[in-house]
Structure 1
């Protein structure tokens, strides 16, 4: 999926068993084509086991803006005509599902905890049974930079988060949260503001994250 001069650098490395679906789309790797710039299926969490259910299917456009890391058993799909963008040092934890049918964007340094899901469609046509109004099936998801997402968080259509946002475990994010400002903690079903002036200590963790998430040979 890359020109020969890029492909020979092996910029994307897959670990373990991965099922490849439709690969008719376009993958764009911004910046220098460094070996292992994108890792898919490499362990970086505590537990090392894998169920071997990882899938990778790209029939739309997938853009990597820099280094990106995806854990074990991730299921990743970009549909025809859809656009997905992974920011520099973005990451998906193990067992994350990403289903992009329109547009999903992750900002720089945004990490998604294990068993979470990003799905920009409700997959089925829905109507108002009283008025007959038909609701949109799709809506973009856009996560700001330096978002720290806990485990089992669901991102649904039209979700938008600000920079420096922390999201609590088992939350459902389904609207625009940017009006709440930066450096906040949100959570719940659906998610709401829990605390202000709250942020992961990125300065303290930056070098640790680089060591754990950048593929090295």
Structure 2
């Protein structure tokens, strides 16, 4: 019992050292009011710039708990930076469950814009998420570092032949269990199906659900179908076992093999 209490106390002290206490309290009170802030559902770590908090931020989950949403978390082992997270919400931001934003993430939900993030979502360092109108992200989303998700072109382009100006914004919809590799860009009008993997450096710019319903790999500029019947392993204990298996296989046999499970 004593050992358990000491362990919990040590974990709490480590949390306090990393936590940006002032910004954490301010964010929770501003977003959820004093009553909602008592649960402290949002943690902010490290430097952060709260550029705009005039919009509506809400959590639609059965169990709202402490620290379920985190900004500036340091779970990545590859990226190290002291660049601040930047949060600007003048529209509607909705969380459906737990969500982590790593360091130096830029989050913008513009006036009249809407961003909905599913449960168990992760955004890597230096990612940019911008919603001018509508963006929906499903459960178990994983975006690696330096990803860009935009539902707008930001600026307008005139068609000089027709003397017309088309809309520069279109909704983005991302299904459940989607994995974006590093430096993937998702542009306006993109729709990604469930269980989709997007290869490093790809650019998504259309509705990929019209021809494929799930479990595909996309890649390229613009992105196109690379493989079918694939899914990423989201189970972390299983991932560690696979690392060990292939490491041992390489050392023993001098080559990598595959495993069936």
Unaligned runs of 5+ in 2: 1-30, 241-261
Give, in angstroms, the shift of residue 92 of structure 1. 0.5
The match for 2:220 among 188, 194, 217 is 188
The match for 2:145 among 84, 92, 114 is 114
Q: How does 1:56-75 map to 2 (within 5 A)?
A: 56-75=87-106
Unaligned runs of 5+ in 1: 210-217
| Of 44-53 and 101-110, the range deviating more from structure 2 | 44-53
Q: How does 1:16-165 map to 2 (within 5 A)?
A: 16-31=46-61, 32-47=63-78, 49-165=80-196
- Contact kept in structure 2, 1:6 and 1:33, CA below 8 Å: no
- Contact kept in structure 2, 1:76 and 1:99, CA below 8 Å: yes
In structure 2, relative to structure 1, the CA distance for the partners of 1:167 and 1:39 (3 Å cut) is same
* SS of 1:126 mapped into structure 2: coil
* SS of 1:21 mapped into structure 2: strand
Which residue of structure 2 lines up, in the alignment, with residue 213 of structure 1?
none
Q: Deviations over 1:139-182 (max 9, x none)?
A: 11110000011000001100000000000000000100002221
- Contact kept in structure 2, 1:26 and 1:60, CA below 8 Å: yes
Give, in angstroms, the shift of residue 134 of structure 1. 1.9
Q: Does 1:6 align with 2:36?
A: yes
In structure 2, relative to structure 1, the CA distance for the partners of 1:144 and 1:151 (3 Å cut) is same
Query: Larger helix proportion, structure 1 or 2?
Result: 2
In structure 2, relative to structure 1, the CA distance for the partners of 1:207 and 1:28 (3 Å cut) is farther
Which residue of structure 1 lines up, in the alignment, with residue 209 of structure 2?
178
Which residue of structure 1 lines up, in the alignment, with residue 25 of structure 2?
none
- Contact kept in structure 1, 2:233 and 2:239, CA below 8 Å: no
* SS of 1:152 mapped into structure 2: coil
Larger Rg: 1 or 2?
A: 2
**Structure 2-normalised TM-score?**
0.76
- Contact kept in structure 1, 2:186 and 2:203, CA below 8 Å: yes
**Greater relative contact order, per chain length (Cα 8 Å cut-off, separation 6+):** 1
What is the alpha-carbon root mean square deviation over aligned residues?
Answer: 1.7
Distance 1:201 1:68 in 2: 18
Q: How many residues align?
A: 208
**Structure 1-normalised TM-score?**
0.91
Give, in angstroms, the shift of residue 24 of structure 1. 0.6
